[in-house]
Amino acid sequence: MTMIDFLSGEVLLIDKPLNWTSFDVVNKIRYLLKHHLGIKKIKVGHAGTLDPLASGLVIVCTGKFTKKIDEYQGMTKEYIANVRFGATTPTYDLESEPDGTFPFEHIGKNDLKNVLTEKFSGEIEQVPPAFSAIKVKGQKAYELARKGNKVELKSRKVTIHNIDITRFDMPDVTLDIKCSKGTYIRSLAHDIGKALNSGAHLTGLRRTCIGDFSVDDAININDLEKKLFGS
């Protein structure tokens, strides 16, 4: 790829590692472009945030292709989600310690299947996590939540196109999920636990697809510089 390629517009598929933010990925690519190509200014943006504790596909656009970010953000997403029953956390994942414990021995695989079919299929109402980047009176919700403020977010309609159980080993299960833009998998895990008269939180998440883009075609962040510039 040349400077002209990046300036005219490129779409990069990145396999984001754990503990990186989506903005870390963007900043890394921006730095590499400036360093290797001698570009002082270049537009770089990502098409959809992925939590630091999640791995997988992030679409990064450069140059004129940043105009396509909204289009890519609107595409369906696919995830592999690891969910643990028996406990909830304030962040709905492993970022925080458990704040409640619940029985889970009563949950069978058929119970989970039935709940997923009846309550988590098609268009559903979902309340985003308090620990999210949604703005509340000009501040990010997670900033308020971390200060101990009570954060109340409005529910929103999202669509679960498909959800399959690929592992059932209570208290841990793995779900393959295909969903619309704006779906919080952390909230989905929390809500599934509640629907089964238990509690649940996310213990692992990997985004595998965005539309027709697959993580199988993505560049590992550790190999990014070599694959882009051969160094």
Write the DSSP string, 164-228: EEEEEETTEEEEEEEE-TT--HHHHHHHHHHHTTS-EEEEEEEEEEETTEEGGGPEEGGGHHHHH
Residue 169 among the catalytic residues = no
Nearest Cα to Cα of residue 152 among 166, 175, 136: 136
Nearest Cα to Cα of residue 79 among 220, 174, 195: 174
Which entry of 5, 15, 51, 176 is annotated as an active-site residue?
A: 51
- Please say whether the dihedral angle defined by the alpha carbons of residues 14, 16, 20 and 22, taken in this order, is positive or negative: positive
Three-class DSSP category at 37: helix
Catalytic residue numbers, as ranges: 51
